[in-house]
């Protein structure tokens, strides 16, 4: 049997915090069971002095004959009201968030595990209780590994830990390695960008070849665009010439046109483009608008020529004829 001094040193204070309830009860149960029956009333008085704050307030005006009665009152007042099934549902829904550390996630899992054990029926035998605790340990281990982030979960699964403590240690080690790799990559990226220096604008992060202030780069860009556009124009001209040749061939051989040209009509029409009226489906030699304008222009020119000829063949003016007659009459008289 323990002395009162050793038993009282095992006790802790309880202020009404639900997270500390079972720690206080477990320590008090051990100390209370290790003292003699004669010293138990004295130890119970010491236990009552360990209640502080809210726990002291709710027990101050109540009298309890012994520790078991006080223990039951504290359990009724501060223990969780959830059932074991509700705690299992909360455990199975635990997942590590993207910005959550392994330590915070493991603490959340361990809290659910402890609450599951505390929710076990007190009337269970020792063997039954140990079997339930072992089953809950395996379930908690599986939930912890499955809820980890994928990059950490794969590494932990490959090592096949046999306990929750080993799984947590492996996950913490893997998390630290990932952080180290990320920091190294960031340092290398910053170092590489700082090493590059432009001799043209004297700024870091790029070279003179990629400098936007370098005029030679601008000229090179313009030349590349010009060569690209020139190649596109040459391709368009060659396509138009080819289509015009095909149209001439079809005009020379109408029978061949009826046999061979119809299957490709839609394809040819879609690729043709008239540079006169800016419409698709035909080329400039086939443009009706151009033919209409040319015919109209020709008709206008022919009409102006006819009017000019009529003006050239007009009759002499009457005054000129009168002067000629007077001149002849004067000659005869002389």
CA 30 to chain centre: 56
pLDDT band at 218 (very low <50, low <70, confident <90, very high): low
Strand boundaries in 6-56, DSSP class E: none
The count of other CB atoms within 10 Å of the CB of residue 131 is: 12
- Per residue in 147-195, pLDDT (tens digit) is 999 989 998 999 899 999 999 999 999 998 888 887 776 666 655 555 6
Name 280's bridge partners: 273
Which is more confident, 319 or 167?
167
Q: How many CB atoms lie within 10 A of CB 283?
A: 19
What does the pLDDT read at residue 254?
A: 47
Q: Which of 119-128, 141-150, 173-182 has the highest mean pLDDT?
A: 141-150
Least confident of 17-26, 85-94, 239-248, 277-286: 239-248
Place of tokens 């992060």: 205
CA distance linking residue 62 with residue 76, whole number of Å: 14
What's residue 166's pLDDT?
93
249-275: average pLDDT: 55
pLDDT score of 255 more than 60: no
What residues form DSSP beta bridges with 14?
A: 51
Reply yes or no on whether the pLDDT at 82 is more than 80. no
* DSSP of 159-205: H--SSHHHHHHHHHHHHHHHHHHHHHHHHHHHHHHHH-B-TTT--BT
Q: What is the C-alpha separation between 199 and 197, in angstroms, rounded?
A: 6
| Residue 251 burial class via C-beta count within 10 angstroms: exposed 0-12, middle 13-18, buried 19 and up | exposed
pLDDT: which is higher, 178 or 328: 178
Structure confidence at residue 278 (pLDDT): 82
pLDDT of residue 213: 72
Question: Which of 184, 185, 159 is CA-nearest to residue 172?
Answer: 159
CB-based contacts of 43: which residues, under 8 Å, 6+ apart? Answer: 4, 7, 8, 31, 32, 35, 67
pLDDT of residue 249: 46
Share of the chain above pLDDT 70, in %: 68
Mean pLDDT of 81-88: 78
Q: What is the CA radius of gyration of the chain?
A: 53
Q: What CA–CA distance (Å, rounded) separates 275 from 293? A: 15
When pLDDT is cut at 50, 70 and 90, the band that residue 67 belongs to is very high
Predicted local distance difference test score (pLDDT) of residue 308:
54
Q: Across all residues in the chain, what is the average pLDDT?
A: 76
Residues 9-26: pLDDT tens digits? 999 999 988 888 888 998
Residue-wise pLDDT tens digits, 279-308 = 888 888 888 888 888 888 888 776 655 555
In the chain, where the domains are located: 4-78, 84-182
Dump the DSSP string for 192-258. Answer: HHHH-B-TTT--BTS-GGG-TT-HHHHHHHHHHHHHHHHHHHHHHHHHHHHHHHHHHHHHH-HHHII
Output the CA–CA distances (angstroms, integers) from residue 210 to 191, 199, 214, 222, 239, in the order listed.
19, 11, 8, 15, 37
Average confidence (pLDDT) over 109-129:
85
Mean pLDDT, rounded, for 133-140: 92
From the list 107, 92, 24, 91, the residue with the least C-alpha distance to 59 is 24
Joined together, the tokens standing for residue 319 give 């005054």
pLDDT class for 27, splitting at 50, 70, 90? very high
Which pLDDT does position 87 carry in this prediction?
81
User: Three-state SS for 84?
Assistant: helix
Confidence of residue 78 (pLDDT cuts 50, 70, 90): confident
DSSP annotation of 34 reads S
- What's the CATH fold of domain 84-182? 1.10.1200
pLDDT at 259: 46
């Amino acid at each position: 049997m323990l002395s009162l001094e050793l038993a009282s040193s095992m006790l802790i204070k309880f202020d009404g915090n639900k997270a500390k309830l079972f720690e206080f009860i477990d320590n008090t149960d051990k100390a209370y069971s290790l003292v003699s029956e004669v010293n138990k009333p004295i130890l119970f008085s010491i236990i009552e002095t360990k209640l502080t704050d809210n726990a002291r307030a709710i027990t101050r005006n109540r009298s309890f004959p012994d520790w078991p009665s006080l223990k039951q009152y504290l359990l009724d007042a501060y223990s969780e009201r959830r059932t074991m099934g509700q705690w299992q549902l909360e455990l199975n829904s635990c997942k590590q968030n993207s910005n959550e550390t392994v330590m915070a996630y493991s603490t959340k899992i361990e809290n659910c595990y402890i609450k599951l054990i505390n929710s076990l029926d007190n009337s269970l035998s020792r063997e039954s209780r140990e079997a339930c605790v072992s089953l809950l340990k395996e379930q908690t281990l599986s939930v912890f590994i499955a809820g980890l982030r994928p990059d950490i979960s794969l590494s932990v699964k490959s090592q096949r830990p046999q306990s929750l403590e080993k799984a947590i240690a492996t996950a913490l080690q893997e998390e630290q390695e990932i952080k180290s790799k990320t920091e190294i990559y960031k340092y290398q990226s910053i170092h590489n960008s700082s090493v590059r220096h432009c001799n043209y604008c004297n700024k870091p992060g790029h070279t003179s070849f990629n400098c936007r202030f370098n005029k030679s780069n601008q000229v090179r860009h313009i030349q590349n665009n010009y060569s690209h556009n020139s190649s596109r124009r040459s391709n368009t001209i060659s396509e138009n010439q080819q289509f015009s040749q095909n149209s001439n061939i079809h005009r020379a051989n109408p029978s061949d046109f009826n046999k061979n040209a119809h299957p490709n009509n839609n394809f040819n029409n879609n690729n043709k483009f008239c540079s006169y009226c800016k419409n698709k489906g035909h080329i400039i030699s086939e443009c009706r608008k151009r033919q209409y304008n040319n015919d109209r222009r020709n008709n206008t020119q022919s009409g102006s020529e006819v009017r000019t000829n009529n003006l050239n063949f007009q009759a002499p003016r009457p005054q000129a004829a009168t002067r000629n007659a007077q001149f002849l009459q004067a000659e005869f008289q002389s």
